């Protein structure tokens, strides 16, 4: 009996070593979605909603059209936007690299979130970076994507909300809250109309 137990322990040890670099992968879960190609055409089909890592949504996605047998990989080099279940990811140029950011608010002011994992972070938790731009600003700098620092975000938001100062004044100076910023941007955008979707 003792020999069988030792044999099983040694066997399971070697089997675990043999599987060291293999990761279990789940069957893709697909839901209705779309992507916009570089020509601006919208393609409808199924988007995979369970990538191996959550930050993959900001780098790439898998899409399956009605004729395909399995999902195909797309990156921001080949696609302008994609979306599913009310989430919309837009291609942005960040530090000379094309990636996707989730568009949280559309309208005159566009508010985006980018999630990423820090390389030195052992816990695999994601961090968020937020970006904003004004699509109708007279100042060309405000039409460019600007990062909001979560510590001093109100100061960064001031030039974007200068046309509606009472909305900006109501924001908390010290506490960054994504939902409150989203509400403020939506409130700001209610004063303006735009037909552009990017």
Q: What is the mean pLDDT of residues 94-102?
A: 92
Name the DSSP letter for residue 29.
P
Q: How confident is the model at residue 14 (pLDDT cuts 50, 70, 90)?
A: low
Closest CA to 135 of 110, 113, 163: 110
pLDDT at 26 over 80: no
CA-to-CA distance for 45 and 67, rounded, in angstroms? 10
pLDDT cut 70: percent of the chain above it: 83
Q: Which position has the higher pLDDT, 27 or 41? A: 41
Helices vs. strands in the chain: H and E counts, helices first: 4, 10
Q: What is the mean pLDDT of residues 132-137?
A: 94
Residue 45, helix vs strand vs coil:
strand
Closest CA to 189 of 100, 86, 103: 103
What pLDDT, on the 0 to 100 scale, is given for residue 132?
96
Q: What is the mean pLDDT of residues 47-61?
A: 91
What pLDDT, on the 0 to 100 scale, is given for residue 97?
92
Give pLDDT tens digits for 109-134.
Answer: 999 999 988 775 556 678 899 999 99
pLDDT at 20 over 80: no
pLDDT at 190 over 70: yes
* Parallel, antiparallel or unpaired: strands 126-134 and 109-117: antiparallel
CA-to-CA distance for 59 and 76, rounded, in angstroms? 7
Closest CA to 38 of 86, 83, 88, 75: 75
Q: How confident is the model at residue 173 (pLDDT cuts 50, 70, 90)?
A: confident
**Region for residue 95 given its phi and psi (left: phi exceeds 0; alpha: psi -120 to 50; beta: otherwise):** left
CA distances (Å), 130 to each of 20, 24, 57, 89, in order?
A: 37, 32, 15, 13
Q: Which position has the higher pLDDT, 7 or 58? A: 58
- Which of these ranges, 10-24, 124-138, 157-171, has the smallest mean pLDDT? 10-24
pLDDT cut 90: percent of the chain above it: 65
């Amino acid at each position: 009996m003792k020999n069988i137990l030792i044999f099983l322990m040694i066997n399971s040890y070697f089997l675990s070593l043999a599987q060291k670099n293999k990761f279990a992968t789940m069957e893709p879960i697909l839901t209705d979605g779309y992507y916009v190609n570089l020509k601006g055409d919208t393609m409808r089909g199924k988007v995979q909603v369970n990538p191996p890592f959550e930050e993959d949504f900001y780098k790439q996605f898998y899409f399956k059209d009605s004729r395909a047998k399995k999902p195909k990989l797309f990156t921001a080099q080949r696609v302008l936007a994609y979306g599913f279940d009310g989430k919309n990811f837009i291609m942005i140029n960040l530090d000379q690299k094309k990636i996707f950011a989730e568009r949280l608010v559309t309208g005159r002011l566009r508010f985006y979130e980018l999630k990423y994992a820090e390389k030195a972070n052992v816990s695999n938790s994601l961090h968020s970076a937020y970006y904003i731009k004004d699509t109708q600003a007279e100042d060309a700098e405000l039409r460019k994507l600007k990062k909001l620092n979560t510590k001093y975000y109100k100061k960064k938001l001031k030039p974007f909300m200068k046309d509606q100062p009472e909305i900006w004044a109501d924001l908390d100076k010290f506490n960054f809250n994504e939902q409150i910023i989203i509400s403020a941007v939506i409130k700001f955008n209610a004063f303006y109309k735009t037909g552009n979707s990017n």
